[in-house]
Structure 1
Amino acid sequence: MADRTVADLVVDRLLAWRVPRAFGYPGEAIAPIVAALDRTGGEPAFIPARHVEAASFMATGHAKFTGGIGVCLATQGPSAVQLLNGLYDAKLDSKPVVAIVGEDISGPLGGAHQEIGLSRLFADVCNQFVRYGRSPGQVPALLDQAFRTAAATRSPVCVVLPRELQEASVPALETYAGGVITATPGEPLARVLPHDVDLAAAAQLLGAGQRLAILVGQGGRGAEDEIIALADRLGAGVACSLLGKPVLDERLPYHAGVVGEVGTRAAAELMGGCDTLLLVGTNDPWTDYLPMPGQVRTVQIDIDGRRIGSRYPVDVPLVGDAAETLRALLDRVPDRPNPRWRATVENAVDRSRGEVTDRAAAPAEPVNPQLVLQELSSRVPRTGALAVDVGSVLYWYARHLELPPGVNAQLCGTLGSMGCALPYAVAAKLAAPDQPVIALVGDGAMQLNGLAELITVSHHWSRWRDPRLVVLVLNNRDHSGTGGGRQPVTDASQRRPDVPYAGWARLLGLHGVRVDRPELVGAAWDEALAADRPSVVEAVVDPAVPLSPPEPAFADLRSVFAEGDPSQRVREQLERRLSLAAEELI
């Protein structure tokens, strides 16, 4: 029997860590591991992307959608550089990813073509763990350490394996016999609860508040019942970060929506009116939309103590699992609902939802992009996944798409890198081929890498039990919405070229529908969701529709909320504040 190679041992460790697939782009320096994966017959599978950056987004998307550890493969040089974007996405959104990078050091002086210092290249993005494999016997334990570190720190890690090492034989008697991996990838390795004294302090602070707001981030997943129970006990209003949007049922009458530049007026008003703030599993960067420092007293719950107080001042830190910590708080918090405050919040939510509906119904040329997302809202399948890209589509997703409970939505929340949604959608679909997936992208992201990754979709879809992977492309042909709430560009040299996105899908054997009339938007969604293969919905939308970020919260809105309907007084006080600021500048 032929000796096994180190590449075979790598595959063994992937199996031990229950990795179903590795994403990458084949190349000489990683070829032995790719060949070893091919020999397994797809367990685990190797999924080649059309670009290495897309492969890294797929690995991070796998981690986000499944809760497991994503794996990506690349070679040295340019391929290693192209991994960085997806790995930074994993780092900033706290997701475990293992990058295995091959290196060819067979040159006459030990150098390599395309040589880049990999340790320094990955030192920041994989700051928890970057290691080189040096000998066959070391590799399995090295990979186990990498996976444990990724799971424990919820971050990307990197292992560099020279090609010669991957090809090295491992005699049968020396084959590594690893133990069973008992840790659940991506989950806490231990039960984490705050100390009783901190829970008591948090309960006292929350119980003393008159106008409570709860801001929910992605760390609130799994704690939905506890969040709702606490909100009802204290009469609180709730809002969410972008990453926290899927956590709670957005149909709750006191759910104000997303906080931040892409968010709702009701969420900004909630932050401006509260006197007590509970942060649950959120590291949201839009701190301008949180209450003015000193306006509120704050409790923060996070599984990672390093995030406590990193964005916003905190009075009582609670390091612990969100669900267990909230259950412990419920045992200590008094039942003190504030009907007046809750009614004020619900009135603000009703006004905000009416405003959103009116904006979607406004005329546009040819189609209002807000209408496209509004029409999808009632058609989102009750199960499955949704991937969202960066750009104006993010604004419309945040405000106009009401997610059904149980739908897993993911986006590049903290890094904010374009081109993530279609790779995410591929990862989600491969993880659950029997469930529908929807990707929301702009024309810029589609041109960046989406057109190429549709080839990946066309290669895999025939093996999916449920063939529905629907890609929405908002075709507005300019750069609006790529950051800062800017107005659409008017310089013709900056306009994007028009591309027949639906036609490209049809050339690949997929379904494509182009819609440029508002009365046909709903029918286009119905057609795509009923198709017997993946679909592209190309919506030709008006670039002049303003993004209209809500005004940030101000400290002097507290009394406004305490008095009742804030809409007119908010505008008056905001105008006075801006007028005073202008006088000071003069």
Structure 2
Amino acid sequence: MATVSDFVIQRIKEWGVNRVFAFPGDGIGEFDGALGAAQRADDGLQYVRPTHEEICSLMATAHAKFTGEVGVCIATSSPGAFHLLNGLYDAQMDNQPVVAIIGQQGLDALGTFTQQQSNLERTLSDVAVYVQTVVSPAQAQAVVDTAFRTARVRLGPAVVILPHDVQGMEMPELQPANWVSRSSAVAPSIAVTPPEAQIRQAAAIINAGSRVTFLVGHGANGATDDVLKAAELCGAGIITTLRAKQVVPSDIPYHSQQLGLLGSLPSVHQMNGCDTLVLLGTNYPYSQFLPPSGQARAIQVDLKPEQMGLRYPTELNLWGDVKSTLTGLIPLLEEKTDRAWQNTVAEEMTAWEKEMEAQAHVEYDDGVNPRRVYFELNKRLPPQAIVTADAGSTADWYGHHIRLRRGMMGDLSGRLATMLAAMPYATAAKFAYPERCVVCTIGDGAFQMLGLNELITIKKYLHEWENPQLIIMVLHNNDLTQVSWEMRTEDANPVWPESQDVESVDYAGWAKLLGFTGIHVTTDDEVAAAWDTAFATRGVTLIDAHTSKNVPPLPPHITLEFAKNTAEALLRGDPEEPTVLIDSAKALVTEGIERIKDTLHHDKKRDD
């Protein structure tokens, strides 16, 4: 007898899923039993069980990001479901298709205050694009299919709630009947192309511009060649959002990387000087870094119509996916012969990379320069490498120093910017691409949340990976560094050690206890050798980098408010005042010297 659980498992596979991230419990027990039988039958559906339900949902989200497939996570009723929320919000806010299968107490228990029974539909309705409890076997097919279909089309998490007794009920062969939907496990296309008239209008706007900038988001993933072709035709400079580093190769000379606090000065200059702005698959949230209203004619291309025209007053919004839209647009673009705009971006980017290198080689007395750690990593990234970053200062250094070449991947929790995501992201990437080298970069605060635990998951599954090389780099500075700097620069508050201090732990020693390679890095001179050892090791390596917490994550353009707030915070009794002043001065002097050198170089070229 095939049960509802048997059917759901088979249906998951029919939707193209070959891996689920799950944690068991009695509320999902009947379903777990069916999963166990499927595993014993070696039916092609891999069951991955990390150490926490939150990790399950973050891994499912990361799987969707790295593969373009639907990620699936599974958990028990109330406590398990609630633990999934953070990862499901990550999927929602970064527009990723995820399906969560969640257990529930039996039908007769609903609304009776039974242990672990809560109103899951109400709880999950804010995060999910679709949430439904299966109350009868005849309903299961339509609910599961609708969940997958909606997740893919609306690019967000969908939730299927399975009461415990329904999980074990016999699954009938569906016949034509009133109220019974017979659905299909067929994925709808999201290759949406706007009307031809709108594409022609977009081409006319772009052709009329002389200083065109493309702001490219993760929604342009898979359209790399199309983006580059369009930019080459219209002479556009390119800026990528942090999550879109992998979309545009770093060796494109007029690609100025990111914009904003963790971006580049050439990107700031592009925004200040462009007369045409084309947003491709991005809901870039920091509108203060976009041009003043009226400066640029703007076009946005996106599959999320509710997010178009939201950050900047666009002249034209094209509801479509980036690749299909560019396929229609490219033949209508006029090739520009004047490359002055692109050449300016390229020249400024060359100078910026020199400044980033100089900043990476500043030496500090209170720990390793964290920029140096990322700079040396970037020099050694092998082809096809995958890099993950966490929220916090790791995202700053990732933005400033990591340059992904064609074929490489990189990602992090974007709009949600949740801490601890770098570890489940890296592990999910390793499951999806077991032949590739994966590098996780994470701070010690985030690593203490769930990262220490996830080394256990890695140990459990290491033998399954064709290439067991996985490198974890922990920025060990005993501080919640990003928040410390935000307290100073945003609110003019001194750092409060009781909230910011992170207990020091021997992270390399913990890795060694699990049989991995652990490396302590306490000086700048040890950084390069540590990365060399890690990339030469066929296995797991943890680099415990004892870095300074007072290196300022300087934005490309320091505003008066930034400087004023920092000064006020220090005057109010910041416990790190002496070191912050010294380290900031070193960084600012290096920044000034590099920009003076660049100015002199440009003046000499002009005179010649």
Same fold judged by TM-score > 0.5?
Answer: yes
Determine the structure 1 residue equivalent to 2:516.
510
Residue type at the aligned position of 1:230: A
User: Offset of 1:485 from its aligned partner?
Assistant: 4.2
Residue type at the aligned position of 2:60: A
Residue type at the aligned position of 2:216: V
TM-score by length of 2: 0.86
Determine the structure 2 residue equivalent to 1:442.
443
Assess, with a 3 A threshold, how the Cα gap between structure 1 residues 481 and 387 changes in structure 2: closer, same or farther: same
Assess, with a 3 A threshold, how the Cα gap between structure 1 residues 130 and 107 changes in structure 2: closer, same or farther: closer
Determine the structure 2 residue equivalent to 1:39.
37
Number of matched pairs: 550
User: Offset of 1:180 from its aligned partner?
Assistant: 6.9
Determine the structure 2 residue equivalent to 1:564.
none
Residue type at the aligned position of 2:147: A
Is residue 88 of structure 2 the alignment partner of residue 87 of structure 1? yes
Question: Does the residue aligned with 2:87 lie in a helix, a strand or coil?
Answer: helix
Assess, with a 3 A threshold, how the Cα gap between structure 1 residues 108 and 550 changes in structure 2: closer, same or farther: closer
Distance in 1 between residues matched to 2:497 and 2:224, nearest whole Å:
48
Distance in 1 between residues matched to 2:348 and 2:254, nearest whole Å:
9
Aligned 1:269-280 pairs, distance under 5 A? 269-280=269-280
Determine the structure 2 residue equivalent to 1:359.
359
Aligned 1:109-124 pairs, distance under 5 A? 110-124=112-126
Is residue 240 of structure 2 the alignment partner of residue 240 of structure 1? yes
Is residue 524 of structure 2 the alignment partner of residue 526 of structure 1? no
Is residue 168 of structure 2 the alignment partner of residue 181 of structure 1? no
Residue type at the aligned position of 1:70: G
Distance in 2 between residues matched to 1:295 and 1:108, nearest whole Å:
57
Assess, with a 3 A threshold, how the Cα gap between structure 1 residues 368 and 84 changes in structure 2: closer, same or farther: same
Assess, with a 3 A threshold, how the Cα gap between structure 1 residues 515 and 108 changes in structure 2: closer, same or farther: closer
Distance in 2 between residues matched to 1:190 and 1:279, nearest whole Å:
19
Distance in 1 between residues matched to 2:183 and 2:281, nearest whole Å:
33
Residue type at the aligned position of 1:551: H
User: Offset of 1:108 from its aligned partner?
Assistant: 10
Q: Which consecutive unaligned segments of at least 5 residues does structure 1 have? A: 555-566, 572-586
Distance in 1 between residues matched to 2:267 and 2:487, nearest whole Å:
21
User: Offset of 1:486 from its aligned partner?
Assistant: 4.7
Determine the structure 2 residue equivalent to 1:317.
317
User: Offset of 1:82 from its aligned partner?
Assistant: 1.3
Aligned 1:300-449 pairs, distance under 5 A? 300-364=300-364, 365-449=366-450
Aligned 1:281-300 pairs, distance under 5 A? 281-300=281-300
Distance in 2 between residues matched to 1:177 and 1:464, nearest whole Å:
41
TM-score by length of 1: 0.89
Assess, with a 3 A threshold, how the Cα gap between structure 1 residues 146 and 552 changes in structure 2: closer, same or farther: farther
Instruction: Give the fraction of aligned pairs with identical amino acids, expressed as a percent.
Output: 37
Distance in 2 between residues matched to 1:443 and 1:102, nearest whole Å:
34
Question: Does the residue aligned with 1:4 lie in a helix, a strand or coil?
Answer: coil
Distance in 1 between residues matched to 2:298 and 2:77, nearest whole Å:
46
Aligned 1:525-564 pairs, distance under 5 A? 525-551=531-557
Distance in 1 between residues matched to 2:514 and 2:526, nearest whole Å:
24
Question: Does the residue aligned with 2:475 lie in a helix, a strand or coil?
Answer: strand
CA deviation string 1:222-244 (max 9, x = no partner) = 22222222222222211111111
User: Offset of 1:492 from its aligned partner?
Assistant: 3.8
Distance in 1 between residues matched to 2:67 and 2:161, nearest whole Å:
25
Alignment check: 8 A CA contact 2:5 2:34 kept? yes
Aligned 1:141-152 pairs, distance under 5 A? 141-152=142-153
CA deviation string 1:462-506 (max 9, x = no partner) = 121100111111111101114874559754433111111111111
Distance in 2 between residues matched to 1:552 and 1:200, nearest whole Å:
40
Distance in 1 between residues matched to 2:31 and 2:391, nearest whole Å:
33
Residue type at the aligned position of 1:210: S
User: Offset of 1:173 from its aligned partner?
Assistant: 9.7
133-142 vs 105-114, greater mean Cα deviation: 105-114
Residue type at the aligned position of 1:115: Q
Question: Does the residue aligned with 1:31 lie in a helix, a strand or coil?
Answer: helix
Residue type at the aligned position of 2:7: L
Distance in 1 between residues matched to 2:299 and 2:172, nearest whole Å:
57
Q: Which consecutive unaligned segments of at least 5 residues does structure 2 have? A: 561-594, 600-608
Distance in 1 between residues matched to 2:332 and 2:172, nearest whole Å:
61
Assess, with a 3 A threshold, how the Cα gap between structure 1 residues 353 and 138 changes in structure 2: closer, same or farther: same
Distance in 2 between residues matched to 1:190 and 1:221, nearest whole Å:
13
Aligned 1:108-257 pairs, distance under 5 A? 110-126=112-128, 128-170=129-171, 181-183=185-187, 189-257=189-257
Alignment check: 8 A CA contact 1:76 1:102 kept? yes
308-317 vs 92-101, greater mean Cα deviation: 308-317
Is residue 505 of structure 2 the alignment partner of residue 499 of structure 1? yes
User: Offset of 1:143 from its aligned partner?
Assistant: 0.7
Alignment check: 8 A CA contact 1:288 1:553 kept? no
354-363 vs 328-337, greater mean Cα deviation: 328-337
Residue type at the aligned position of 2:12: L
User: Offset of 1:324 from its aligned partner?
Assistant: 2.6
User: Offset of 1:295 from its aligned partner?
Assistant: 1.2
Assess, with a 3 A threshold, how the Cα gap between structure 1 residues 340 and 279 changes in structure 2: closer, same or farther: same
453-462 vs 98-107, greater mean Cα deviation: 98-107
Alignment check: 8 A CA contact 1:481 1:487 kept? no
Determine the structure 2 residue equivalent to 1:480.
481
Residue type at the aligned position of 2:356: V
